[in-house]
Amino acid sequence: MGATGGIADFDALRRAMAENSEEPEGPARNARAEQLLAEAEKLNIPLAVVEALGHQLKVYNYSSEKDKMFVPFARLLRLWDERPGDFDEYETHSLYWVFKWMSAGMLDQPHIPLASVEKWLGEMEHRYRLAGHSERAVRSAEFSVAAHIGDFPRAERAYAAWLAADRDRMADCHACELHGQGGWQLRNGRDAEALELWRPVLEGEYSCAHEPHTVLASSLVPLLRLGRTDEARAHHLRGFRLVRPMESMRGAYADHVEFCALTGNEARGLELLAERPAYFTDAGQPRSRMDFLAVVTLLMERLTGLGLGEQRVPGPAGRAWSAAELAGHARAEALELAARFDARNGTSYVGDRVRERMDQRPLADRLPLGVRAARTAPAGPVAPVVRAPAQEPPSLSELLAEARRLSDTLQPHALEAWAAVAEAAESTEVDAYVRAEVADHTAMGRGPEGAELFERAAELYAQAGDEGEAIAARARAAYVRALAGELDVATAAIGEPYDRILALYADEATGVRQTASVLMSRARILMRRVHERSEGAGEAEQAVRELLALVGGRGGSDVRLVSRAAEGRAMLAELAEHAGDGERAAELFRQASAQFVGAELPWFAVEYEVRVAALAHEQGDMAEAERALRAALEHGGPHVEAVGRAQLHLQLAEVLGGRGAAEEAAEHALQAAHWADEAGESSTLGAWARHQLGGLLLRQGRFAEAAEVLESALADLSAETHGDGAVVQTQWWLGDCLSELGEHHAAAERRLQAAEIARHWPEQHDHATLAHLAAESLGNAGLAAEADRAYARAGELWRAMGNVHFLVRSLRARAWLALRTEAGTAGARRLMTAAVTECETALTGLRDPAARERLTGELGHTHRQFGDLLARSVPEDAQDAAIQDAFEAALAETTAAIAVFAELGADGLHSRTGAELAAGWLEADLSRPADAAARARAVLDAYRDADPEDDTVRARRAEARQLLEPAES
């Protein structure tokens, strides 16, 4: 911001106020407005004081110090009553306009009596009537008063009168009016009607300085209540981005915190609170502070209810806060403010609404947002075991029966059930067989470290007289040794159990189950040799086929035997894949999956469908890859661990994105990010999922949402973990989003950061493109000198790569920039001449017809832009001779463009006629109506047989007729 000195005249004051208006909302901008008022008073110009007071009033209104508005307005009103002639038309309009701000501002201040508010409303009505303004703004203000105090009959009358009154210059903009009207529907429990009223604002038909910011925030809870969670998520990401930099929007900010508290996104809610510490204490607008403290209470009590009351949280400065402490503090403060409003209003309406808001229950356990957020609520098991409430804990026999049922039918969580048996058995004498079962299943949960416990189980089975199960347990011990890397030990160890089980089975001294278990352990050990050492494939296949011969056709209702058969078939698939027969492998994996699904054990099929998807991907069969991944997600249901679910969703997102289904792909990328966060993989798999999600949202034109997600991804993406290509692509996409959102300076920063990484790559095309895009953003941000340097760097890279098209475009862009820098018109001409020369030189000797046609078009556009540049480069105070010379030069370049486009025939038709019309207008400006008419007729002749429905044809014909009018009149 400028210094207080140097305000020597009215123009300097106006420039200073305009500069201050562009500064961020807040106390610093307000202080500067106060300084500028003091400077205005020194100028001894009444209108200067009026404008400075108006500026001060505006910055107060758009800040946390809204309570300061009343003093400058009172002074403005006094000046108007005493000397209305000191106000010009604009300041007169502004004075009446801010009457509405005073009405709302008084309602926001509980120390202002309701009688004073009503008196002011009458004053506003009187003055509007004398000035000839419609009642619309007055009735809107009356509605606000009645709605605030809970006088519903009066509010309904005022609402109807508001809508019935004529719209005039004093009425709020359409966007603000629709926000207020939708808010009334909301208060009456009509969520769908509110959202329908807000639709034109949400869709961008109407907007203003604070819309769609507030409508997006207000829509969050009704959307959740209606179950429209996808829209609610989008509105949060899009809306919070708009609200974040605006200090005056504490109420809308509170709506976003509330959304987080109601959707299981408590951690994000805490992040939002941490961004705005002053919101806890800023006292300039008590009503928005009350609203903010109400949702702080909601969030903190939610955390406390989740058992996180002792967690450190952001709060008012000066001390550390736990969630429980802040919950109590915020509730007391919010209710104290509500009580002051209710005392002023003579009703309990404000307090009732605040209590209702603080006591809301969550509307979603967890709504994934796509942005990174830690899980505050403890995550339960993926598929919890649900038991009916019992009067007393189950007995050991009941626990044992349940554990056996789950393991016999291969159900998930069987090992947890056996753990419960083990705990209950510690205080009870149990027989050897039960102890064997407990040891056996405990070993299964230990993976490679379970060998010794399996051996112990074998001893206990033997003591209990079950020799077959003892042998099977020893076979399992051998297999887990293979898992631990002891392949030779495992291979040797499986020999004796294998021989013994076959002998017992031949003597009918053991059953198919135990025999199949040993054969499976042996096959698994031999398969590991194949995978780890690439040896013994024939022996492994023989072992698998021996297993299949035993269990084939014997399964029936015995899911254990069906499972053995399915796994054996999958082993054959692995051997086929090892041998390079991907097609055979995929078919066998599909058969294994189908067997598990047929046995109602779909969760075992997930692994095999994933393998099918990988094989299909290798073979370029994306349709089969998509089918298999969908099947894996369906079969796994709630039984797949969080990290596995994240991987499946991410793979499916990539396949869908590859075939152009960006919307569905984004849904899966969103789920991938969510499950990665649940799995504690936010910075690895989660970052990659957010990277993909951001790109998919960008492809759909959802720029604000994409920007939020991509910024979140960049917090975790690293070249070491994800590759520098992912970092560059994310920065690139984010730059594109920011550019579309009009945040050009930020877009330039992202593009320059990406370009710096790409600068070190062997292939320089991305580096050049990013430098070019960064230059474009710098230019759009008004940084002409910086943009010129970036374009110059890009041009050097394009030249080194031999890319004439983009070299020429960088020169043209620099030429336009030169008009805004010290280089001026002379520099612009030099650069545009260089662009023409580059095209003409490259065309010399170029033989490829297609390349020649493209470059000829580039030359035509360069001449055309040269002409436009020359015509626009004439200073406003230029002499007639200088204008004549500039227009003649512009006409020469435009005529050259026409000739070049003519070489392209039908492909250059629209470009040629556009240049012909531009030349015609130049002829007219040079007072040559006949020549202008001739060019217009040439355009009409060119389109004599053209399609009349073509938009370009219609526009060109209309413009040509307009150019002809002076000649024909």
Q: What digits encode the pLDDT tens for the residues 391-448?
A: 578 888 889 999 999 998 899 888 999 899 888 888 888 899 999 999 999 999 998 8
- State the CB neighbour count (10 A cutoff) for residue 208: 15
Report the sign of the C-alpha dihedral through residues 420, 422, 426, 432, in that order: positive
Q: What is the mean pLDDT of the segment spanning 337-357?
A: 97
What pLDDT is attached to residue 557? 73
Percent of the chain's residues with pLDDT above 70: 97
Reduce the DSSP state of residue 148 to 3 states and report it. Answer: helix
Any residues with CB less than 8 A from the CB of 142 and at least 6 apart, and which?
A: 121, 154, 158, 161, 162
Report yes or no: 498 and 519 within 8 Å, Cβ to Cβ.
yes
Q: Would you state the pLDDT for residue 656?
A: 96
Average pLDDT of the segment spanning 287-307: 97
Name the pLDDT band for 389 (thresholds 50, 70, 90). very low
pLDDT band, very low/low/confident/very high, at 554 (cuts 50, 70, 90): low
Q: Are 457 and 472 in contact (CB under 8 A)?
A: no
**For 656-670, how does the pLDDT look when each residue is reduced to its tens digit (9 = 90+)?**
999 999 999 999 999
For residue 3, pLDDT beyond 60? no
pLDDT at 877: 75
Q: What pLDDT sits at residue 374?
A: 62
Q: Which long-range contacts (CB under 8 A, 24 or more apart) does 304-308 make?
A: 306/266, 306/376, 306/377, 306/378, 307/378, 308/376
pLDDT band at 300 (very low <50, low <70, confident <90, very high): very high
Residue range 439-466: mean pLDDT, rounded: 93
pLDDT of residue 28: 92
Rounded to an integer, what distance in angstroms lies between the CA atom of residue 390 and that of residue 655?
48
Query: What is the predicted pLDDT for the residue at 720?
Result: 92
* pLDDT one-digit tens code per residue, 585-622: 999 999 999 999 998 999 999 999 999 999 999 999 99
Whole-number pLDDT of residue 681: 92
Q: What is the pTM of this model?
A: 0.84
- pLDDT, one tens digit per residue, over 171-206 is 999 999 999 999 999 999 999 999 999 999 999 999
pLDDT given at position 388: 42
pLDDT at residue 870 greater than cutoff 90: yes
pLDDT at 383: 36
Q: Over 50: is that where the pLDDT of 387 sits?
A: no
Cα 832 from chain centre: 41
CA distance 727 to 722: 8
The residues pairing with 312 across neighbouring beta strands, listed in sequence order, are: 322
pLDDT score of 807 = 97
- pLDDT at residue 862 greater than cutoff 50: yes
pLDDT at 839 over 70: yes
Q: Is the distance from CB of 438 to CB of 483 less than 8 angstroms?
A: no
Q: Is 322 helix (H, G, I), strand (E, B) or coil?
A: strand
pLDDT-derived band at 455, boundaries 50, 70, 90: very high
Q: What is the pLDDT of residue 556?
A: 64
Helix (H) or strand (E) run with residue 321 in it: strand 321-322
Tell me the residue ranges of DSSP E strands in 64-183: none
Structure tokens, 812: 């043209």
Report the 10 Å Cβ neighbour count for 889: 17
Please give the pLDDT value at position 6.
67
Report the SS3 class of residue 742.
coil
| Pick from 519, 445, 532: nearest CA to 486 | 532
Q: Which residues does 578 contact at the CB level (< 8 Å), separation at least 6?
A: 530, 531, 534, 537
Instruction: Give mean pLDDT, residues 572-590.
Output: 95
From residue 903, how far is each of 494, 743, 851 by CA, in Å? 83, 41, 14
Q: How many angstroms separate the most distant Cα atoms in the chain?
A: 119
Of the candidates 725, 752, 759, the one whose C-alpha atom is nearest the C-alpha of residue 738 is: 752
Q: Tell me, what's the pLDDT at 48?
A: 92
pLDDT at 377: 46
Model confidence band, residue 543 (pLDDT cutoffs 50, 70, 90)? very high
Q: How confident is the model over 515-542, as pLDDT tens digits?
A: 999 999 999 999 999 999 999 999 999 9
Direct distance between the N- and C-terminal alpha carbons of the chain, in angstroms, rounded to an integer: 55
What is the CA angle 657-659-664, rounded to 5? 45
